[in-house]
Amino acid sequence: MNHSGSEGFPNGNDRVRQDGVRHLLSLADLSDVDLDALVRRSFDHSRGAVPLTGQLNGRVVGTYFRTTSTRTRTAFSVATLRLGAQLVAYGPGDLQENTGESAGDTGRVLGLMLDGLVARTSAGADELRAIADWRTMSVVNAMTEDEHPTQAITDLSAMLATLGKLEGLRVLYVGEGNNTAAALALALTRYTGTELYLRTPDGYGLSQNTLRQARAYAETHGASVEERHDLENLPPDVDVVYTTRWQTTGTAKHDPDWRRAFSPFRVDAALMRRCPSAIFMHDLPAHRGEEVDADVIDGVRSIAFPQASHKLYGAMAVLEWCLS
């Protein structure tokens, strides 16, 4: 991957810039250069290497969260203010979408007044693309059912800060192939020599489209991605063990007995002993005793809470990239 400097951002990919407006709707829309620029800008913010000079003075950013959020909503709200922009916050019952207005009409109106909209929805990305279609304001995907792109920027920034590199990292992901897993697969596979091992319950893996795209990226970058539905034949050592909560925000399981399928995929001390050099990551919120044991997430190898701090730095990078 070609890396950009920390002084600013490259011109980027025309697929995400329309009539002077940049969106972050899916990592698949980003060029390699754009993705790496966002990750490294986030890392630079984390180490205090980016002066806060009112980069977004005069801008107005809306946040619209239709499902619960602690880290992402707070991160984008604080990032907006720290970069000098003004903030308008909408809750799940505030907009006329609730009375039947189309996503397109909502986006058309908001784009007449806002410079950017950070939105979380329990639906797929098509709704956000309808909002973004008028090309009058930047739209940021703060999580949809199928992808959580800003989480991947957070995660890679945290890996870079902790491990000092991204190229060649070996990551074991254990749990549901949810929107966080999808974003990780679409991002990590674009770094040379990386290895992503996905261990997901049968019937709860990555979508075929996401897995196909991740494998295409991996082939291009000399990386690899493997998905299995058991914990046999784990790689002898990895740099990162990653899990997420079993009950993904805004989704429901199709099988009422789903916990039986998930129970072997808990990250406990025994699994961490199989990966003696690995740090532990979790996108939070965590349910101790379900997807992870307390002695793992609260142990010395866990970076789950420092990882969460990179939400803010990633949000600052994304807003700068979209709006500055």
**The pLDDT of residue 293:** 98
pTM: 0.93
Q: Which residues pair with 302 in a beta bridge?
A: 280
The per-residue pLDDT for range 83-92, each reduced to its tens digit, is 999 999 999 9
pLDDT at 292 over 70: yes
Mean of all residue pLDDT scores within the chain: 93
- % of the chain residues with pLDDT over 90: 87
Task: Give the full edge-to-edge strand order of the sheet including 116-120.
Answer: 86-90, 60-65, 116-120, 138-141
Q: What are phi and psi of 119, to 5 degrees?
A: -130, 140
The per-residue pLDDT for range 23-53, each reduced to its tens digit, is 999 999 999 999 999 999 999 999 999 999 9
**Residues 61, 145, 71, 285, Cα dihedral to 10°:** 170
**Residue whose tokens read 């790496």:** 36
Rg (CA), the chain: 19
At the fourth CATH level, the homologous superfamily of domain 17-147+311-323 is Aspartate/ornithine carbamoyltransferase (3.40.50.1370)
**The pLDDT of residue 105:** 95
Note whether 17-147+311-323 and 151-308 share their fold. Answer: yes
pLDDT at 2 over 50: no
At the fourth CATH level, the homologous superfamily of domain 151-308 is Aspartate/ornithine carbamoyltransferase (3.40.50.1370)
Give the domain ranges of the chain: 17-147+311-323, 151-308
The confidence band for 17, taking pLDDT boundaries of 50, 70 and 90, is very low
